[in-house]
Amino acid sequence: MPIVDNLEAKRTSPDDDLESWVMDKVDSWTEDYDSNYRSKHDEYYRLFRGIWAKGDATRSTERSRIVSPAIQQAVESNVAEIEEAAFGRGNFFFITDDKDDPDQEDVALLRKMMHEDFGKLATKQAIAEIILNSAIFGTGIGEVVLDTITETVPDEEISEDGQSRIIGVTERERVVTKLVPVMPKHFRIDSAATSLDNALGCAIDRDVPTHTIEILQEKGIYLDTPILSDVTDLKRQPDIEVSQSPKGQTRLTKYFGLVPRHLLEKAKMPPNSHMVEILDEPEDENSFYVEAIVILADGGQLLKAEQNPNMMNDRNIVAFQYDKLPGMFWGRGVVEKGYNSQKALDAEMRARIDALGLTVHPMMGVDASRMPRGAKPTIAPGKMILTNGSPSEVLYPFKFGEVGQITFPQAQSLAAMVQQATGAVDMSPGNINADQGSAAMSMSKGSVLKRHKRTQLNFEESFLVPFICKVAYRYMQYEPEKFPAKDYKFSVKGNLGIVAREYEVAQLGQILQTVPDDSPLKPKLIEAIIDHMNVSNKEEIISLMKQAAEPDPEKQKADEELRVAQMDFQASQTAALKGQAAESIARAEKYNAEMRGIPIKLETEQARVAAMMDDEDDKNFDKRMKILDKQLQERSMEDQAQATAAKAPAQPPQQPQQPPAAPEVPSFKPFR
């Protein structure tokens, strides 16, 4: 049969109504959840709470009921890391306007108002609970709820006579957006869906206080339909250990998704005071399905049914997987990761405790034929035991042996396996290996941080950004005077978690040890280390560091004056050295001129001496002439060497040199 004929048959079905259609889907999805996930989720919850159940026993003869806290520590460690990364630095998201809009005041106003409302409505606490649910069950789910609150603010006004001021308060109503955590046991989704977007629909099915429904009926938000009280189910209670349902509760089912158009048209539409005009194009009236919100009480009483009023036609549900599983809506949490290691650790601890019960407590073997009739075979301090005969022959004390000491290292190894499976970091002294080097510890921390970063990015992209977008869209829709509809861009301020910051501070500290004190990089490294610390006055310390790094004008002026004085002193020293060099050069030229005149003077003296010689000295004349010629040659060679040295560039002398001594002139006595 063609699909069109099937749709036409569904449209013309006279016996179907919206309530039955919705509850049929919800009951079908509930059956799928109960068959595949409920028992596992209940056991994960018990392991996190440390609650023992009969079905959790690993042996039929098991007597101990202890539950190891290893999985609890792993859950809390991982959740604390994600929470610190998300909220550790205050503002955890940013809003940016499109590039064509130069006015940034509207963006700043929207961001400020969202942060203020998140603080008033305890949104961070709700997000923290959703993260905890995801770590336990594998999937974190939240409902975006519109609510009207009355704000009371101080105000003043002028009296009628204009002579005085009246101080009081002003009340005003505002539409706000709340985030309500939803446990997986209360959430129903299309069995074939892998995400909220491709699901036919989803529903929240849980018990709520009856008076909350009655208040909304009085306001006209819900239809004034008779509802029943105290009709609840233990399966819908948050605590699985509850043995009796609380009083004053009513089952409430909220459906978000596609419904047949003709069934929605047949249902009665309650008045909605929050509806505004939606500027989107109308949907095709010939389409079979339409996006709607249907609210039922007691499993069939219609309270509200309307087409999705959101301007973006989005559903009021946000969800994310702690660890994604391919092709599935339900994810994998911390408890599921460490489930097998936790069960093995519990079995090891329970077996040891059971064995201690047999080895620690005293036991005795008794000859029953020689015990008095009616005697109670029990042991107690100071008890008198009657026997028919010698007690040493009738009573025999014995024990079953000793408990093996191997159980202690086995338990430690299993606890380490839980941390390995979950990525939890336990830095207590008992869990640190002293023989492990810093490099090995750094590598192990690096692998853990990668897993935390993966979960953090998944949380930001799949939950936090969609939630902030939904809140901003609600502000634009219900308070358009303050927040005009624009194309805002949302970005999450991703931070480092506790372990990641400690790891990075250690790395920065090692780099800081290799940087010299006068390096410009050192103040930046110190600022980065302080920025990663969780101290209360961190901003004040960083501000003081920046102020200290700024130059002092008075010091700059003094340094400039000192620099000019040093330059002047160096210039004067250079001028003095140049003058000394010039004086040395002139003196050297003078000495050279005097030395050039010495040979002429010697020749003249030689001729004069020769003319004065007598005949008596003729016999020694030749000998004296040879000696004189040799002296003249030596003096001529010395003059040439000094002339060559004088022509070479001379270095400026540090101290004035003494003029060279005049050359010694050989004295000649007249020969007689």
The DSSP string of 461-526 is IIIIHHHHHHHHHHHHHH-TTTS-----EEEE-----HHHHHHHHHHHHHHHHTS-TT-THHHHHH
Spatial contact of 79 and 135, defined as CB atoms under 8 Å apart: yes
pLDDT mean over 342-359:
87
The answer to whether 84 and 456 are in contact (CB under 8 A) is no
Instruction: Decide if pLDDT at 306 tops 70.
Output: yes
Question: What's the rounded mean pLDDT across residues 90-117?
Answer: 70
606 within a domain of the structure (yes/no): yes
**Domain ranges, residue 566:** 554-647
Domain presence at residue 23? no
pLDDT of amino acid 6: 57
Cα end-to-end distance, the chain, whole Å: 164
pLDDT at 130 > cutoff 80? yes
User: For the chain, what percentages of helix, strand and coil (3-state, to nearest 5) are there?
Assistant: 50, 15, 35
The tokens for 594 are 């005097």
Cα 587 from chain centroid?
81
- Token duo for residue 391: 């007690």
Residue 646 confidence (pLDDT) above 70:
no
Sign of the dihedral through C-alpha 13, 18, 21, 24 = negative
Report if residue 629 sits inside a domain. yes
Calculate the alpha carbon distances from 94 to 107, 431, 476, 666 in Å. 9, 39, 17, 104
Mean pLDDT calculated for residue range 484-506: 61
Stretch 294-302: mean pLDDT:
91
Specify the pLDDT at position 228.
79
Cα angle 155, 161, 164; round to 5:
45
> What mean pLDDT is predicted for residues 585-604?
73
Question: Residue 174's pLDDT is what?
Answer: 82
398 in any annotated domain: no
3-state secondary structure of 7: helix
Better-scored residue on pLDDT, 160 or 532: 160
Give the percent of the chain with pLDDT over 90: 24
Q: State mean pLDDT over 396-409.
A: 78
Q: What does the pLDDT read at residue 650?
A: 47
> Domain total for the chain?
1
| Count of C-beta atoms within a 10 Å radius of residue 344 | 18
- Residues 382, 366: Cα–Cα separation, whole Å: 18
pLDDT for 542 equals: 67
Q: Which residue has the higher pLDDT, 659 or 56?
A: 56
Nearest to 353 by CA among 287, 280, 403: 403
Domain membership flag for residue 601: yes
pLDDT at 138 over 90: yes
* Residue 625 lies inside a defined structural domain of this protein: yes
Given a contact cutoff of 8 angstroms between Cβ atoms, the answer to whether 142 and 180 are in contact is yes
Cβ proximity of 442 and 149 under 8 Å: no
**Residue 435 predicted with pLDDT over 60:** no
Residue 23: pLDDT above 90? Answer: yes
Written as one letter, the residue type at 255 is Y
pLDDT computed for residue 566 by the predictor: 87
Q: What is the pLDDT of residue 319?
A: 95
Q: Ranked by mean pLDDT, which of 26-40, 143-157, 460-474, 540-554 comes out on top?
A: 26-40
Please tell me the predicted confidence (pLDDT) of residue 429: 44
* pLDDT value, residue 612: 63
Q: Is pLDDT larger for residue 279 or for residue 353?
A: 353
Average pLDDT for residues 422-432, to the nearest whole number? Answer: 59
Residue 411 lies in a domain: no
Which secondary-structure segment (H or E) carries 95?
strand 93-96
In this prediction, residue 413 carries a pLDDT of 85
Burial grade of 585 (CB within 10 A; 0-12, 13-18, 19 or more): middle
- Strand 489-492 relative to strand 395-398, pairing: unpaired
At residue 657, the pLDDT reads 46
Mean local confidence (pLDDT), 343-366: 85
Residue 8: its H or E element: helix 3-11
Mean of the pLDDT values across residues 447-469?
A: 82
**Cα angle value 621/627/628 (rounded, 5°):** 85
Report the C-alpha gap between 197 and 53 in whole angstroms.
Answer: 37
250 has pLDDT over 50: yes
**626 assigned to some structural domain:** yes
Mean of the per-residue pLDDT values of the chain = 78
d(CA 319, CA 182): 10
What is the maximum span of the chain, computed from C-alpha positions, in angstroms?
176
Mean pLDDT of 299-305: 90
Sign of CA dihedral 642, 644, 646, 651: negative
Average pLDDT, integer, range 614-638: 69
The answer to whether residue 280 scores a pLDDT higher than 80 is no
Distance CA(243)–CA(486), nearest Å, equals: 52
CA-based nearest residue to 53, from 68, 41, 42: 42
Residues 53, 241: contact at Cβ < 8 Å? no
Confidence band for 461, pLDDT divided at 50, 70 and 90: confident
Q: Does 137 have pLDDT greater than 80? A: yes
Amino acid 44: pLDDT: 95
